[in-house]
């Protein structure tokens, strides 16, 4: 994953794609920061987690910029999201999330809302980078509630 990002960065620099270069540099910086914090090299799952967090941060920024009347900054953030998401696995749709939640509930033997942590643990282990866990959490709550 890291090699692909580095190669794409070199290609974007040669092609003069300023937005792509800036975003790929941000990705590299975030990965390095996470590695320093963890005091070890990240595997692909760790890199996916960093990039998923970056997308979430940008979505929050878009909301704030839109509410603040700054559509120009919101567009920049949206362009960064598009570049970052190109490296993430395809996200699951709502029906796939619902099926995964039901499967995880059965696998964890969950019976009530108290078991939500077990179910989320199963989901995070199986579907890291493929699922929006905020939406999954709401689905688990609804299923167990």
Whether 128 has a pLDDT exceeding 80, the answer reads no
C-alpha torsion 117→109→45→142, nearest 10: -60
The confidence band for 27, taking pLDDT boundaries of 50, 70 and 90, is very high
Judgement on whether residues 118 and 66 belong to the same structural domain of the protein: no
Which domain, by its residues, includes 128?
94-144
Judgement on whether residues 106 and 62 belong to the same structural domain of the protein: no
Per-residue pLDDT tens digits for 87-101: 988 888 888 888 899
Whether 73 has a pLDDT exceeding 80, the answer reads yes
Q: How many CB atoms lie within 10 A of CB 26?
A: 15
| pLDDT for residue 61 | 96
Judgement on whether residues 100 and 126 belong to the same structural domain of the protein: yes
| pLDDT for residue 13 | 96
Whether 129 has a pLDDT exceeding 80, the answer reads no
Judgement on whether residues 76 and 137 belong to the same structural domain of the protein: no
Lowest mean pLDDT among 1-5, 39-43, 79-83, 132-136: 132-136
What CATH number is attached to the domain comprising 30? Answer: 1.10.1510.10
What is the pTM for the complete model shown?
Answer: 0.73
Choose between 43 and 26: higher pLDDT: 26
Q: Are 4 and 87 in contact (CB under 8 A)?
A: yes
């Amino acid at each position: 994953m890291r090699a692909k990002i580095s190669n794409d960065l070199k290609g974007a620099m040669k092609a003069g794609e300023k937005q792509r270069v800036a975003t790929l540099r941000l990705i590299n910086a975030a990965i390095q920061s996470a590695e320093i914090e963890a005091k070890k090299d990240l595997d692909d799952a760790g890199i996916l987690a960093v990039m998923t967090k970056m997308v979430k941060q940008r979505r929050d920024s878009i909301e704030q910029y839109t509410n603040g009347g700054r559509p120009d900054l919101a567009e920049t953030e949206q362009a960064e999201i598009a570049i970052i998401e190109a490296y993430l696995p395809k996200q699951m749709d709502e029906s796939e999330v619902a099926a995964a939640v039901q499967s995880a509930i059965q696998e964890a033997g969950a019976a009530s809302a108290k078991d939500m942590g077990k179910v989320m643990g199963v989901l995070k282990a199986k579907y890291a980078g493929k699922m929006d866990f905020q939406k999954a959490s709401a689905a688990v709550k609804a299923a167990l509630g």
